Structure formats: structure tokens, C-alpha cells
């Protein structure tokens, strides 16, 4: 019996709706499978927690999380209560950084049963490997002067180790797929970091002669995601470029509400964290209509992470079947609630037993 202790942080907004949904699915999988057991330990760390305690998580929060096999997180952010940069740097980004979750894997593919907004989606299937620990997300910089003369400076940090690590991860992944890596750059406009990015890419690709490569400026690449998404297999991108590209990846599937993600710790020192691409969606929170697929597909990535790829594939197929049969939330053109979609996925998983 494989026993997995998972730390669960529903977080804010629809995180509190889609996380319980995905936990029901994981419990059902454990029930059906027999050889797998989950223990879920829930933590209320969120903007509400901040309002009560003046911090997003307790001082020993990271120590508490460290003992778990993985972290399953919904979304963080309630800008009406706490400024986003405070809530995110106090929880989500803190965990990514401190637990050295240096790679963010974000798949996007033509999804059965979904109407892609693209005229010609052409069965696309790609994974964005997002550098997850540095780049444009840095605390280095500052604000000087006030009023009309005010200046805000934000330094981007690209280390050779971090850049190379993300690129090697992308190449290794591509070896198991269609052997094609695309680099997202902007070396025409960003003077230091992006020429460096290109240089490292040119060096790393030498070690993978069997993998085809190309490189596009991020602006053109964003357009190609819309006009020719089938061109891509693995796309490696800096932290910010990868962030933007993956909401676009969700959008071309049909909704950012279905896009999954995995924050991977590579050195085994800390748990990895699984959370979907989307945020806390305050505009629909409380209505019971949040699409649970992003969180449930994210649970599939967690199963893959634990070596349960077969179960993961069964889960993804079940999600697609339910979608193709029209049981869908409003963001993808249906009338079903979060609960109805979840219950149907669980019902079909039970039928497989």
C-alpha cells in the first residue's frame, strides 16, 4: 500500500471550491485503486488568515509543510483584503522559492469536448517549462523620490545555473515527447538577460543533437500560440514569459479554468507543489460554478509525480469523456456546477472499479 501524506492549502476564492472537488476525485481514485491511500491535512493559510494573524502562514509554516509528500494548493489572492504582492510573496511565491521548486510544468492541449476559440486548433499538444525561481520575479529594486519624479526599479535575475537547469529539464522532457524545444526569448529588446538566455540555450542544445530547436521572441511566440499552436512540443520560458504564455495556453484550450500546473523540486530536499494556472477568480467565487478541471488535472500531474502515470491517464481520459458528454461549467459553454462536474467524474471513476 502506497501511503501519501498531502498538505492541502485551498487558499482564497474559488480555491476553496475547486480544491475540495479535486480531493473528492483523489479519494475516489484511492478507493478504486486499492493500492493507494491519501491522508490530506488541510491548512487555512489565506488572505482571511492574514486578516486574523497579520501573516499569510505561521512562522513555522514551511517547517510544517516540509514533512509532507506534496503540497496541493488552490489559489492565493483576495486583493480587496490584502495587496496581491503581500499575499503572494507571503505564501505561494514563498513556498516556490524556499522549497526550491525551480521548474513549473504547464501542459496545454486540444481538449476533447471543448470549443477552442481558435479557428484552426489542429490537435495541438505542448508543455511550457517555466523557470520558476528567478528571472523577472525578484525582490531586488526599489522606489526612489516621490511625486512626479518617482522612479520604480525592478531588477531581473538570471543565473547560469537556474537558466541552464530549466533548459536541460525542457530538453530531457522533449526526449520523451516529440523531440522539439522552443525557446522564448526577447533578446532584441532586453539588453542583458535575454542575450544571456540565448547564449545558454545555444550551449545546452549542443548536448541534445537529437532534439530539434527553435527560438522566437516572446511577442511573436504569443501570436504563434494563437495561429499555429500545433508547431510546439516543449517551450522553455523565463518566469514571467512562462506565466503569460500559460494563461494563453489555457485560453486556447477553451478556458484558463482547465489549465494545470506542477511546481517541481528537483533535488528531493523539499516537497513539490501542485496548483492550477488560474487564480482565485473573485468575480465568480461563491456561485458554485468554478470549473474544477484545472484543479483535477493538476491532481493528475501529482499522480504522475508519484509514478502513478497510468492512473493519471485514466483520470485525464475520464475528465475529457465527461467534458465531451457536455457536462461542463459555464466558462466552457455548459450549465453544470462545480459539484455536478466533480460528481460525474467520480461516478465514472467508480464504474471502472
Out of 92, 105, 128, 252, point to the residue binding ligand NAD (CB under 6 A).
92
Q: Which is nearer to ligand NAD, 229 or 250 (CB)?
A: 250
- As measured in angstroms, the least distance from the Cβ of 237 to Mn ion is 12
Number of residues that bind ligand IPM (CB under 6 A): 5
Q: Which is nearer to ligand NAD, 249 or 294 (CB)?
A: 294
Gap between the Cα atoms of 77 and 47, Å rounded:
7
Q: Which is nearer to ligand IPM, 36 or 92 (CB)?
A: 92
Please enumerate in sequence order all residues whose Cβ is within 8 A of that of 147, keeping only pairs 6 or more positions apart, or say none. Answer: none
User: Which positions touch Mn ion (CB under 5 A)?
Assistant: 243
131 is a contact residue toward ligand IPM (CB under 6 A):
no
Contact call for residues 167 and 102 (beta carbons, < 8 A): no
79 is a contact residue toward ligand NAD (CB under 6 A):
yes
Q: Which is nearer to ligand IPM, 237 or 332 (CB)?
A: 237
Q: Which is nearer to ligand IPM, 194 or 277 (CB)?
A: 277
Window contacting ligand NAD (CB under 6 A); options: 29-37, 186-194, 218-226, 289-297: 289-297
Gap between the Cα atoms of 201 and 240, Å rounded:
17
DSSP annotation of 100: T
- As measured in angstroms, the least distance from the Cβ of 67 to ligand IPM is 24
The 3-state secondary structure of 156-199 reads: CECCHHHHHHHHHHHHHHHHCCCCEEEEEECCCCCCCHHHHHHH
Gap between the Cα atoms of 349 and 267, Å rounded:
34
Gap between the Cα atoms of 64 and 57, Å rounded:
10
Window contacting ligand NAD (CB under 6 A); options: 35-43, 74-82, 107-115, 146-154: 74-82
Q: Which is nearer to ligand IPM, 61 or 279 (CB)?
A: 279
Q: How many CB atoms lie within 10 A of CB 270?
A: 18
Contact call for residues 47 and 12 (beta carbons, < 8 A): yes
Q: What are the backbone dihedrals phi and psi of residue 292, each rounded to the nearest 5 degrees, phi first?
A: -85, -5
What does 283 interact with, of Mn ion, ligand IPM, ligand NAD, none (CB < 5 to 8 A by kind)? Answer: ligand NAD
257 is a contact residue toward ligand NAD (CB under 6 A):
yes
Contact call for residues 129 and 169 (beta carbons, < 8 A): yes
Q: What are the backbone dihedrals phi and psi of residue 5, each rounded to the nearest 5 degrees, phi first?
A: -95, 115
14 is a contact residue toward ligand NAD (CB under 6 A):
yes
- As measured in angstroms, the least distance from the Cβ of 132 to ligand IPM is 8
Identify the H or E element spanning 152.
Answer: strand 151-154
Q: Which is nearer to ligand IPM, 113 or 294 (CB)?
A: 294
What does 57 interact with, of ligand NAD, Mn ion, ligand IPM, none (CB < 5 to 8 A by kind)? Answer: none
- As measured in angstroms, the least distance from the Cβ of 265 to ligand NAD is 17
Out of 71, 277, 299, 303, point to the residue binding ligand IPM (CB under 6 A).
277
Contact call for residues 272 and 305 (beta carbons, < 8 A): yes
Out of 46, 280, 298, 323, point to the residue binding ligand NAD (CB under 6 A).
280
| Spatial CA neighbour of 75 closest among 298, 275, 294 | 275
Map the footprint of ligand NAD across residues 207-246, applying CB under 6 A. none
Rama region for 181: left / alpha / beta (φ>0; ψ in -120 to 50; rest): beta
Q: Grid coordinates in use for 172?
A: 530531457
Q: Which is nearer to ligand NAD, 167 or 336 (CB)?
A: 336
Rama region for 288: left / alpha / beta (φ>0; ψ in -120 to 50; rest): left
173 is a contact residue toward ligand NAD (CB under 6 A):
no
Out of 12, 17, 233, 243, point to the residue binding ligand IPM (CB under 6 A).
243
Alpha-carbon 134 to chain mean position: 16
Which residues lie near ligand NAD (CB under 6 A)?
14, 18, 75-77, 79, 84, 88, 92, 256-257, 275, 278-284, 290-291, 294, 331
Judged by the rule CB under 6 A, the positions of this chain that interact with ligand IPM are 88, 93, 243, 277, 279
Amino acid at each position: 500500500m502506497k501511503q501519501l501524506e498531502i498538505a492541502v492549502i485551498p487558499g482564497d476564492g474559488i480555491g476553496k471550491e475547486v480544491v475540495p472537488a479535486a480531493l473528492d476525485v483523489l479519494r475516489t481514485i484511492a478507493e478504486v485503486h486499492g493500492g493507494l491511500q491519501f491522508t490530506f491535512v488541510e491548512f487555512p493559510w489565506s488572505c482571511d488568515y492574514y486578516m486574523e494573524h497579520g501573516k499569510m502562514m505561521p512562522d513555522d509554516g514551511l517547517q510544517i509543510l516540509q514533512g509532507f509528500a506534496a503540497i496541493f494548493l488552490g489559489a492565493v489572492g483576495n486583493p480587496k483584503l490584502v495587496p496581491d504582492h503581500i499575499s503572494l510573496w507571503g505564501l505561494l511565491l514563498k513556498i516556490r522559492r524556499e522549497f526550491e521548486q525551480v521548474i513549473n510544468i504547464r501542459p496545454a492541449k486540444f481538449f476533447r469536448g471543448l470549443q477552442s476559440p481558435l479557428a484552426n486548433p489542429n490537435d495541438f499538444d505542448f508543455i511550457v517549462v517555466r523557470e520558476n525561481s528567478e528571472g523577472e520575479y525578484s525582490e531586488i529594486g526599489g522606489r526612489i523620490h516621490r511625486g512626479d519624479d518617482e522612479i520604480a526599479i525592478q531588477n531581473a535575475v538570471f543565473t547560469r545555473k537556474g537558466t541552464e537547469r530549466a533548459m536541460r529539464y525542457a530538453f530531457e522532457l522533449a526526449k520523451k515527447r516529440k523531440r522539439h524545444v522552443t525557446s522564448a526569448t526577447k533578446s532584441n529588446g532586453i539588453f542583458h538577460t535575454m542575450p544571456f538566455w540565448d547564449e545558454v540555450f545555444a550551449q545546452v542544445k549542443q548536448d541534445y543533437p537529437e532534439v530539434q530547436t527553435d527560438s522566437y521572441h516572446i511577442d511573436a511566440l504569443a501570436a504563434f500560440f494563437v495561429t499555429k499552436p500545433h508547431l510546439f512540443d516543449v517551450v522553455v520560458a523565463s518566469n514571467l514569459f512562462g506565466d503569460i504564455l500559460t494563461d494563453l495556453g489555457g485560453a486556447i484550450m477553451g478556458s484558463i479554468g482547465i489549465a494545470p500546473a506542477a511546481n517541481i523540486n528537483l533535488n528531493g530536499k523539499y516537497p513539490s507543489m501542485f496548483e492550477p494556472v488560474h487564480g482565485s477568480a473573485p468575480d465568480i467565487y461563491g456561485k458554485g460554478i468554478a470549473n474544477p478541471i484545472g484543479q483535477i488535472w493538476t491532481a493528475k500531474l501529482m499522480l504522475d509525480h508519484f509514478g502513478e502515470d497510468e492512473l493519471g491517464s485514466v483520470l485525464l481520459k475520464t475528465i475529457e469523456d465527461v467534458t465531451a458528454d457536455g457536462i461542463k461549467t459555464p466558462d466552457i459553454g455548459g450549465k453544470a456546477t462545480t459539484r455536478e462536474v466533480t460528481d460525474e467524474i467520480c461516478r465514472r471513476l467508480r464504474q471502472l472499479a
